[in-house]
Amino acid sequence: MSDVQLDKIDTRAPEKADKDKTKAKIKLILEELNELQNILYAENKHAVLIIIQGMDASGKDGVIRNVFGNLNPQGVLVQSFKEPEPEELAHDFLWRIHKHAPAKGMIQVFNRSHYEDILITRVHKIIDDETAHKRMKAINDFEELLADNNTIILKFYLHVSAKEQHERLEERIHDVTKQWKYNEQDFIEAALRKEYINVYEDCFKHCDKIEWTIVPADQNWYKEYIIAFALCEALKKLHLQYPGLKK
């Protein structure tokens, strides 16, 4: 992936994009995805790993709920990665990640991922640049290993503007239905936006064996469309087929 400059990438849908028409398209895509997922599960030859990264309040939870929540829960798993536990810290940084890699027939969604170990750790000076780049090489090797095992990997960065992010964080204070999400630390992290953008751009440059999709995330309907469409297209390229009768 060529050098990415996030400040030159729009966080909103193109002007020509029609909200109502796009939402109608999403509905049709989700219906198609439901069938494709059933075949993926039945065929049991491929796995899918969805990696969702983004700033706080970029809408990771919402896209998981509104896109993947419409699929058969028997074939979808969601894993969030928080601060490592003592047992996890006693192993290499990918140990806790690898055990959640999807089995064949499954769609696994990472809400944040192994990339946190080269993002937040760099911003807060927990690791230096040399260590970060060694980890990037390990990440590339890890993802290549999964790909060699018939795992389709889709990587999404939810690109939210500073203005939209601030409004969403403020909403968590005043909206009673969202107050449970409030964390004072989120505002501290948001103030480090420039530092996060720098390490994300470096990540896109060096962890590019599997391409990233930069998703405009200020409007939920467009963000959900981009991710649902990308997954649908990836599954269609597999030419999935229901297996016949067992002999």
In degrees, rounded to 5, the angle at the alpha carbon of residue 100 between the alpha carbons of residues 99 and 106 is 130
Q: What pLDDT was estimated at residue 187?
A: 93
* pLDDT of 84 over the 90 cut: no
Q: How far is CA 26 from CA 29, 38, 76, 223, in A?
A: 5, 18, 19, 10
Burial of 22 (0-12, 13-18, 19+ CB in 10 A): middle
Copy the structure tokens of residue 214: 């930069």
Residue type at 140 in one-letter notation: N
Q: How far is CA 12 from CA 2, 3, 162, 177, in A?
A: 22, 21, 12, 25
Residue 182's Cβ-side half-sphere holds a number of Cα atoms within 13 Å equal to 13
pLDDT in tens, 171-199: 999 988 889 888 889 999 999 999 999 99
Cα separation, 124 vs 23, whole angstroms:
39
Q: Which fold has domain 6-236?
A: Rossmann fold (3.40.50)
Residue in the block written with tokens 């020509």: 16
Categorize the per-residue pLDDT at 2 as very low, low, confident or very high, splitting at 50, 70 and 90. Answer: low
The model's pTM is: 0.95
pLDDT in tens, 200-232: 999 999 999 999 999 999 999 999 999 999 999
* pLDDT of 153 over the 90 cut: yes
Length of the chain equals: 247
